[in-house]
Amino acid sequence: MPVSLLALALSAFAIGTTEFVIMGLLPEVAGDLRVSIPSAGWLISGYALGVAIGAPVMALLTARLPRKRTLILLMSIFIIGNILCALAYSYNLLMLARIVTALCHGAFFGIGAVVAASLVAPNRQASAVALMFTGLTLANVLGVPLGTWFGQLFGWRATFWGVAVIGVLAFVALIVSLPTNKDEKPVHLGSEISALANGKLWLSLLMTVCFAAAMFALFSYIAPLLLQVTGISNRGVSWTLFLIGAGLTVGNIIGGKLADWKVSFSLILSFALIALFSLAFSWTSHGLWLAEITLFLWAMATFATVPGLQINVVRHGKEAPNLVSTLNISAFNVGNALGAWVGGAVIEGGYGLTAVPVAAAVLAAIGLIVCLITFRCANGKAQPVNA
């Protein structure tokens, strides 16, 4: 794998850390800016909204730029956004800074995935995308807990200064390592938009929505499940989150290998396993060791889906890889919000915490059905991603 993939992975690590670390710093942010915890929680929603809307907008605005220059520009926005977060002296300014930071998120992952795939042979493209997204999984394993600890020790602003420094390192790495593709074809807005007429593209995006919804229906409420049902301590929850992060990382790598071999098989298997392990957790959550084993397997199955989803979307929208790849990131964030809402609705409906994994399993089953419909006329083999 080219060294430039490590620069993309480092960038993904920085972006993933800044997105999720706010969850661990909500009490500190709320206390310092004198707002309630629920109000501070809107900083998470505001970021997600910025990603969902900003991804296709930024992809279209940068359509005529070479991809290397686009990625460097997006990382510049990321650095500026995190500096603004660190300097924000009010809640409104912090919200604005979070939205500015989010503008680079979807477009960077979308275009970065296209670049990652173009750097290797066709039979290794999914593995290349998986390596880039390993930065995102490591952000959950290392970046978020370390960033939370750092912010609790030195103040929440210090965390954003630290992420900005990582962003600068990624910025330099992108400049130095990413090759300039002289054969890159210019992108025309008309062809980008016309590519959206493909029905299988929208089915593929719906598949991503179902995947993210199934994941976050359970993941959003994993802490209360572990505390109230499994009966472990706060420290035990932290270690379980580390275990889940490890599962996400391993699954991401395995998913890349499977998708390199056959995209359809990779996605069908992953959705089936997500549904199975989600459903199983509704029972195994009552026992410590069974719960831990189930969550590790669930995490593996969950992120084994990511490389195949990204490659599949680009394959069906190969006339406009930048736009459709970023739309896939938007679809992920739509599913994120949908899953969290479904899980919350199940709890508020009085069905209990153990019904949340069942709801997640249903969402995964819907994703499996969409997957089967999408591939009913396809051979499932990965197609080269145009550079």
Please tell me whether residues 174 and 54 are part of one structural domain: yes
Please tell me whether residues 46 and 174 are part of one structural domain: yes
Please tell me whether residues 23 and 128 are part of one structural domain: yes
Please tell me whether residues 175 and 223 are part of one structural domain: no
Q: Which domain holds residue 363?
A: 192-374
In this prediction, residue 38 has a pLDDT band, given cuts at 50, 70 and 90, of: low
Please tell me whether residues 260 and 165 are part of one structural domain: no
Give the total number of structural domains in the chain: 2
Please tell me whether residues 164 and 230 are part of one structural domain: no
Distance (Å, rounded) from C-alpha 32 to C-alpha 94?
Answer: 12
Please tell me whether residues 149 and 25 are part of one structural domain: yes
CATH code of the domain in which 113 resides: 1.20.1250.20
Please tell me whether residues 26 and 171 are part of one structural domain: yes
* Residue that is last in its domain, among 142, 160, 182: 182
Highest mean pLDDT among 147-151, 216-220, 368-372, 380-384: 368-372
* Residue that is last in its domain, among 132, 161, 182: 182
Any domain includes 101: yes
pLDDT tops 70 at residue 49: yes
Tokens for 159, please give them.
Answer: 């965390």
DSSP secondary structure string for all residues of 341-372: HHHHHHHHTT--TTHHHHHHHHHHHHHHHHHH
Amino acid, single-letter form, for residue 124:
R
What distances in angstroms separate CA 103 from CA 50, 74, 80, 270, 386, one per listed residue? 6, 8, 11, 30, 25
DSSP secondary structure string for all residues of 264-319: HHHHHHHHHHHHHHHHHHHHHTTSHHHHHHHHHHHHHHHHTSHHHHHHHHHHHTTT
Any domain includes 355: yes
In this prediction, residue 157 has a pLDDT band, given cuts at 50, 70 and 90, of: very high
Percent of the chain with pLDDT strictly greater than 90:
35
Any domain includes 386: no
Q: Do residues 52 and 335 touch, judged by C-beta distance below 8 A?
A: no
Residue pointed to by tokens 């670049």? 115
Any domain includes 283: yes
Q: Is pTM beyond 0.85 here? A: no
Tokens for 362, please give them.
Answer: 């249903």
What distances in angstroms separate CA 343 from CA 224, 321, 336, 337, 358, one per listed residue? 12, 33, 11, 10, 10
Mean pLDDT score, 249-260? 87
Any domain includes 387: no
Distance (Å, rounded) from C-alpha 343 to C-alpha 360?
Answer: 8
Mean pLDDT score, 8-12? 94
In this prediction, residue 381 has a pLDDT band, given cuts at 50, 70 and 90, of: very low
Please tell me whether residues 119 and 213 are part of one structural domain: no
* Residue that is last in its domain, among 182, 202, 233: 182
Please tell me whether residues 165 and 18 are part of one structural domain: yes
